Amino acid sequence: MSTVEDFTRTMQEGYAIAGGSILLGAPLFQGDCPKDTYVRVPLRTMNRHGLIAGATGTGKTKTLQVLAEQLSLQGVPTLLMDIKGDLSGIAAPGTANDKITARHQKLGLPWEPAAIPVELLTLSQEPGARLRATTSEFGPVLLGRILELNETQQSVLALVFKYCDDNGLPLLDVQDLRRTLQFTTQEGKADIQKQYGQVSAATVNTILRKLIELEQQGADTFFGERSFDPHDLLTLRDGKGVVHIVRLTDIQDRPRLFSTFMLCLLAEIYSTFPEVGDPEKPKLVLFIDEAHLIFDNATKALLDQVETIIKLIRSKGVGIYFCTQDPGDVPDSVLGQLGLKVQHALRAFTAKDRTTIKKTAQNYPITAFYDTEALLTSLGIGEALVTALSEKGMPTPLAHTLVRSPGTRMDVLAPNELQALANGSELARKYNEVIDRESASEILDKRLKDHQGGDAPTPAPAPKPVKKETSVIEDISKNTMVRQVGRTVFRELTRGLLGVLGVKTRR
């Protein structure tokens, strides 16, 4: 028979941390929290990824909110995917009430309102800084995965990117890609065949139809300039990490756009962030709410890509946390990479639910203090089963945890507050600027018009000679487009490597 003394000793030893940590809450045993006993997560293992799961209304979002604000107070910036629109309250200090007071008295912790710096980001017309990427930056490998192209279609897409690189045709948005695809089977057919081989019109038409499907989910607002630089996510203000909230309330029915954005962002972070190994605290932590939108209906190639990035991105000092109702939404291959698990209550309404609960219980360390399977259905609101990785990389004891209350507002911002936050944002001023420079579609249309007028097709412009009074390095550093091309080449090399590592191919 386990005693309170045994439980207290096990928890204090299991959650003893020498370095920086996040205090998530206190362990419960027989309905009480032992004095001076807390559940802490080491900062140095927060780049080992994690899972926050549980049925609707059990407290997942508030746990996510606690983690984000505690990371901010420790100087770690975060990125939150806010699909339901209920995380904006992090931007405002909270107000105590009877429930918060009672919870923290039971925890033996003071409750203090927290003021956390927040930036709003958006993929659509929501208030905030616009998130975009050019088609060139996205690259044919990742774009082919999103469009679910076969090997033949993928090779044609790669050919289009190669032709544009060789002929000075910037691929910036969906219109550029569509126009160049049409060019390969129309006025440019002879030139393409002479340089690269024949392109099937049927293959091109298939790619165009898949591109239309992606456009219908809002890709035309995502692809374009100015491209978002992920280094802008590493911002601190007054020593606190900035919480970047991506407002996604209007794309719940457009999962293809969401998965496109997520894979692009992860590949971008992996390709541009330096290797840091295992730092004392992460450089950046990402929280992906409603994670099933990434994994539902995903192809094997996409799942392999996500699994590969999850494995590799840890060395960049980046942690990824999935938030979902059913832990079964996350594939086993990804679930096995997650160090922190916060499991709120599950509901056993059907035989399938009971099977899920049994399987979920088996994913947690064996404990003498709880019947894990029974506890999963009886957890109260704001309670969770927690296990993390210790500073030595070993799983901590399973703890039935009473999670602390957020110090920020546990409600959404009003529309005028959201707009005021966006209006004062330097990121919004930077990324909401409309840029529409000449790109592939305009250049090809101009050449076609000149040719139909009786003139010879306009040749690609020759590179300008380097001025004698400046060095090549100085010219490159001053040329925005050259810097962009350099970034694109590096990203494409990295994405090609990811494709080799993460996607099995047939001979």
Query: How are beta strands 399-403 and 243-247 bridged, if at all?
Result: unpaired
- Find the angle CA(254)-CA(260)-CA(263) to the nearest 5 degrees: 140
- At 472 the pLDDT is 34
| Distance (Å, whole) CA 70 – CA 64 | 10
Same domain, 117 and 248: yes
pLDDT at 493: 42
Quickly list DSSP for 96-117: --HHHHHHHHHHT---------
Same domain membership, residue 493 and residue 374: no
pTM tops 0.85: no
Beta bridge partners of 389: 395
Q: Are 368 and 453 in the same domain?
A: no
- Return the higher-pLDDT residue of 356 and 491: 356
Residue 207 sits in the same domain as residue 249: no
Percentage of the chain lying above the pLDDT 90 cut = 52
What confidence score (pLDDT) does residue 482 get?
Answer: 38
DSSP state of 465: P
The predicted-structure confidence for 444-477, as pLDDT tens digits, reads as follows 998 888 877 654 454 444 444 444 344 333 333 3
What contacts 324, CB < 8 A, 6 or more positions away? 51, 52, 53, 290, 291, 292, 330
Same domain, 363 and 251: yes
Tell me if residue 260 falls in helix, strand or coil: helix
Residue-wise pLDDT tens digits, 207-258? 999 998 888 877 777 888 888 999 999 999 999 999 999 988 766 666 667 7
d(CA 64, CA 252): 19
Shared domain for 101 and 248, answered yes or no, is: yes
Can you tell me the distance from the alpha carbon of 199 to that of 344, in angstroms, rounded to the nearest whole number? 53
Report the SS3 class of residue 216.
helix
Residue 501 reports pLDDT greater than 70: no
pLDDT digits (tens, 9 = 90+) for 150-197: 999 999 999 999 999 999 999 999 999 999 999 999 998 998 988 888
Q: Which residues neighbour 212 within 8 Å (Cβ) at sequence distance 6 or greater?
A: none
Q: Is residue 449 part of a domain?
A: yes
Q: What is the pLDDT of residue 297?
A: 60
- Say if residue 117 is in the same domain as residue 139: no
Least confident piece of the model among 83-87, 218-222, 350-354, 462-466:
462-466
Residue 45 resides in a domain: yes
- What was the pLDDT predicted at 222? 82
Q: Considering the domain boundaries, does residue 408 fall inside one?
A: yes
For residue 94, being part of any structural domain is answered with: yes
More confident position, 331 or 413 = 413
| Pair (251, 339) in one structural domain | yes
Cα angle vertex 335, ends 333, 336, to 5°?
Answer: 70
Given a cut of 80, whether residue 300 has pLDDT beyond it is no
* Sequence letter at residue 307: E
Q: Give me the amino acid identity at 273.
A: F
H, E, C per residue of 369-420? CCCHHHHCCCCCCCEEEEECECCCCCECCCEEEEECCCCECCCCCCHHHHHH
Label the pairing between strands 129-130 and 118-122: parallel
**Same structural domain, 353 and 411:** yes
Taking a C-beta distance cutoff of 8 angstroms, is the pair 156, 208 a contact? Answer: no
pLDDT at 70 exceeding the cut of 80: yes
Tell me: do 307 and 188 sit in the same domain: no
Task: For residue 427, tell me if it sits in a domain.
Answer: no
Q: Kindly report, residue by residue over 112-146, the tens digit of the pLDDT.
A: 999 899 999 988 778 899 988 888 887 888 788 77
**What range does the domain containing 358 cover?**
4-122+244-256+288-416
Q: What per-residue confidence (pLDDT) applies to 10?
A: 95
Residues present in the chain in total: 507
Q: Does the pLDDT at position 33 exceed 90? A: yes
Same domain, 154 and 106: no
Query: Where does residue 277 fall: left (phi above 0), alpha (psi -120 to 50 degrees), or beta otherwise?
Result: left
d(CA 245, CA 128): 9
